[in-house]
Structure 1
């Protein structure tokens, strides 16, 4: 499990949520995102948006399945590179 800090002043909004969900939906395994110990489906745009992630909040990324480490890094990279 990896952690990422939201750097965008706008938090995680529709566009980055869509990017995460689109990447995740291509993965055969399970993808979960956590905020304050509450689990969200990383393959669902609506679930990601419902997290209400704001600037400086931490999200944990859990991927279960083949090549989990690579997928965790790819999702973390999306979150790390959200600037707007």
Structure 2
């Protein structure tokens, strides 16, 4: 499911609402079913990106390099770090 921001006219006033829909067409259909005069529809992108601290990033790769030097494969080393 995605979130869409719908700007519409109702009683000669602009309103902005958020609609949850699977795609743009279903969002438009939901807005039209509520008798809204649509001005604009935009998809809202939520950020799932979190920045890692430099220290954690550096430590992870140092430990990964150490485990690889010992003879573990990269896959085994990553499993060892996270499990």
User: Scaled by the length of structure 1, what TM-score is found?
Assistant: 0.29
User: Scaled by the length of structure 2, what TM-score is found?
Assistant: 0.29
Select the structure of larger CA radius of gyration. 2
Q: Which has the higher contact order (CA 8 A, sep 6+)?
A: 1
Structure number with the higher strand fraction is 2
